[in-house]
């Protein structure tokens, strides 16, 4: 397993084609816009080597029998699913932000089971290809970007009906040695600091969409793979200083990119689904369930940090003992634990697929993610309420060293006599970082928008059973023997 330092150094060897603010970035490792996200992802490597987290952050590969990083593991048991959730909360507590490796982990798990089903039912060779790919991923401890979300174009039309055929990733050429693909994937968390991309279809396909029913892997530095790194709120603070970043080591959210596939060649051994449209819906559903499992865990870990920041600021400002502040902090903790309990519940209430893979309960996983989308913004609102307006209106950190106004800034940002005003400003910037627009949107739409989770709930709930329960109650004979 790679150490955190080895992970960072491995990225220097890749040199993918990355663009940011109009320029080609030659070295993402040492660029201030990228390094905090790299630091955050490195935590997924760090905790695997920490004695107190080893049992949770590592696993035994069912393919090789070797000890591997859990981020590359295919869960075989209920305990595996539960440990995945515990691992995510730990990483969330350490970073206070997104650590980016979840999507690739869930893509590995989902595609492992789907390729098994295809080989069994269609007599294909996808699963054996994928097993070899997975073994290499485990042995080299590679970070995988799970690429699902297409640009989509006109949402009222299917992939094959779009005015531009490249608005969904598609096969443009089939050759004896492989395929050529074109298109793009959007909102790709951690893509520029991954080792490889695992592309999956983003929705269920019909026979007319056959060229779009495609799953494959490619190195991030393959010819024709182009990254356009996205901007975030206040991202220029990364190269302007440290205090104003709020989270100077780990950044904000996950460093998302647009990935362009400009006629990228993929050899057949890296192709894991090609035209089998009837499996795309199941693949998407399985991926969504695993990914929704995550949110109650990683976001509750992040909220542990935010609750700590709100508590610290309230103490600095002399309001910690106020009854309304204690009530708000209690509500924040309650909502965070509710999110976490949903992630655990869908893990404990698991089943086993034909492939031997442990599968979360889809209904409870979607319910957990829906709660997270609701509760995370509520907790951030309470944190802002407790802290007050200074979180949004502080002067830049450069003013602290301004000979004319620096002493005034420190004087008027001090609260209690023993409060360090700079420390208060640091904590306020952390709260600003964690409650800003980018993190809110990611929490809302990651693993699908709330409406996507509602659809799963509506189609999964046994409505007739609930009606029968009610009818049985109202027609029960009070003097009859219990059945």
Q: Which residue has the higher pLDDT, 483 or 149?
A: 149
- Of all residues in the chain, what percent carry a pLDDT higher than 90? 90
| pLDDT tens digit sequence for 216-235 | 999 999 999 999 999 988 89
Q: How confident is the model at residue 438 (pLDDT cuts 50, 70, 90)?
A: confident
Q: How confident is the model at residue 318 (pLDDT cuts 50, 70, 90)?
A: very high
- Measured CA to CA in angstroms, residue 228 lies from 25, 185, 192 at distances of 10, 11, 9
- Measured CA to CA in angstroms, residue 443 lies from 4, 124, 281, 429, 437 at distances of 26, 38, 24, 20, 10
Enumerate the active-site residues: 98, 102, 189, 256, 291, 295, 298, 442
Report the pLDDT value the prediction gives residue 252, as an integer from 0 to 100: 86
At which residue do the structure tokens 């206070």 appear? 96
Report the pLDDT value the prediction gives residue 33, as an integer from 0 to 100: 95
Identify which of 236, 237, 204, 198 has the alpha carbon closest to the alpha carbon of residue 219: 198
**Which range has the worst mean pLDDT, 201-215, 358-372, 449-463?**
449-463
Report the pLDDT value the prediction gives residue 442, as an integer from 0 to 100: 80
Main-chain dihedrals φ then ψ at residue 417, nearest 5 degrees: -60, -30
Q: How confident is the model at residue 253 (pLDDT cuts 50, 70, 90)?
A: confident
Quick one: DSSP state of residue 161?
Answer: G
What is the arithmetic mean of pLDDT over 145-162?
A: 96
Cα distance between residue 254 and residue 96, in whole Å = 11
Cα distance between residue 35 and residue 266, in whole Å = 29
Where b means 16+ CB within 10 Å and e means fewer, 184-196 reads bbbbbbbbbbbbb
Mean of the per-residue pLDDT values of the chain: 95
Domains in the chain: ranges and CATH: 283-468 (1.20.140.10)
Report the pLDDT value the prediction gives residue 468, as an integer from 0 to 100: 92
3-state DSSP assignment of residue 273:
strand
Q: Is 0.85 topped by the overall pTM? A: yes
Contact 267, 177 (CB under 8 A): yes
What is the arithmetic mean of pLDDT over 107-125?
A: 98
What is the arithmetic mean of pLDDT over 3-13?
A: 97
| pLDDT tens digit sequence for 441-462 | 887 777 678 888 888 888 888 9
**Which range has the worst mean pLDDT, 317-326, 374-383, 433-442?**
433-442
First to last CA, the chain: 57
Q: Which residue has the higher pLDDT, 483 or 131?
A: 131
Strand spans (E) along 284-424:
351-352, 358-359
Q: How confident is the model at residue 370 (pLDDT cuts 50, 70, 90)?
A: very high
Q: How confident is the model at residue 483 (pLDDT cuts 50, 70, 90)?
A: low
Contacts of 470 (CB under 8 A, 6+ apart): none
Q: How confident is the model at residue 79 (pLDDT cuts 50, 70, 90)?
A: very high
Report the pLDDT value the prediction gives residue 451, as an integer from 0 to 100: 82
- Measured CA to CA in angstroms, residue 264 lies from 216, 218, 226, 293 at distances of 11, 9, 10, 32
What is the arithmetic mean of pLDDT over 428-437?
A: 91
Q: How confident is the model at residue 87 (pLDDT cuts 50, 70, 90)?
A: very high
């Amino acid at each position: 397993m790679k150490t955190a330092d080895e992970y960072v150094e491995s990225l220097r060897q890749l040199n993918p084609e990355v663009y940011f603010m109009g320029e080609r970035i030659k070295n993402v490792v040492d660029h201030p816009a990228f390094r905090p996200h790299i630091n955050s992802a490195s935590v997924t490597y760090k905790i695997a080597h920490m004695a107190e987290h080893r049992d949770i952050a590592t696993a035994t590969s069912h393919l090789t029998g070797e000890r591997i990083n859990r981020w590359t593991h295919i869960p075989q048991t209920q305990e595996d699913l539960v440990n995945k959730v515990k691992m995510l909360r730990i990483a969330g507590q350490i970073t206070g932000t997104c650590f980016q490796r979840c999507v690739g982990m869930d893509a590995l798990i989902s595609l492992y089971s789907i390729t098994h089903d295809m080989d069994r039912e269609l007599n294909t060779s996808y699963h054996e290809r994928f097993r070899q790919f997975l073994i290499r991923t485990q042995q080299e401890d590679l970070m995988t970007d799970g690429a699902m979300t297409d640009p989509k174009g006109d949402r009222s039309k299917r992939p094959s009906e779009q005015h531009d055929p490249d608005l969904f990733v598609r096969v443009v050429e089939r050759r004896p040695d492989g395929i050529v693909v074109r298109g793009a994937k959007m909102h790709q968390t951690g893509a520029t600091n991954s080792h490889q991309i695992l592309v999956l279809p983003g929705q269920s396909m019909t026979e007319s969409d056959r060229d779009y029913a495609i799953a494959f892997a490619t190195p991030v530095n393959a010819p024709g793979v182009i990254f356009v790194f996205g901007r975030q709120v206040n991202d220029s603070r990364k190269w302007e200083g440290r205090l104003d970043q709020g989270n100077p080591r780990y950044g904000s959210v996950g460093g998302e990119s647009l990935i362009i596939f400009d006629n990228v060649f993929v050899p057949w051994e890296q192709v894991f689904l090609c035209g089998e449209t009837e499996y795309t819906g199941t693949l998407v559903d399985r991926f969504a369930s695993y990914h929704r499992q995550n949110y109650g865990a990683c976001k509750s870990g992040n909220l542990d940090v935010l609750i700590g920041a709100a508590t610290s600021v309230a103490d600095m400002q002399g309001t910690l003992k106020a009854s309304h502040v204690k009530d708000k902090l209690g509500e924040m903790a309650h909502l965070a634990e509710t999110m976490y309990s949903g992630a655990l519940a869908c893990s404990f209430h698991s089943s086993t697929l034909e492939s031997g893979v442990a599968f979360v309960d889809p209904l409870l996983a979607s319910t957990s993610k829906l709660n997270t989308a609701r509760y995370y913004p509520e907790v951030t609102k309470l944190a802002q309420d407790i802290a007050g307006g200074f979180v949004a209106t502080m002067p830049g950190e450069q003013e602290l060293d301004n000979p004319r106004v620096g002493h005034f800034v420190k004087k008027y940002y001090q609260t209690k006599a023993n409060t360090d005003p700079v420390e208060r400003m640091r904590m306020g910037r952390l709260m600003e970082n964690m409650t800003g627009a980018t993190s809110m949107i990611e929490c809302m739409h990651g693993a699908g928008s709330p409406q996507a989770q509602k659809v799963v709930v509506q189609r999964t709930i046994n409505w007739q059973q609930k009606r029968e329960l009610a009818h049985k109650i109202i027609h029960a004979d009070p003097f009859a023997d219990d059945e």
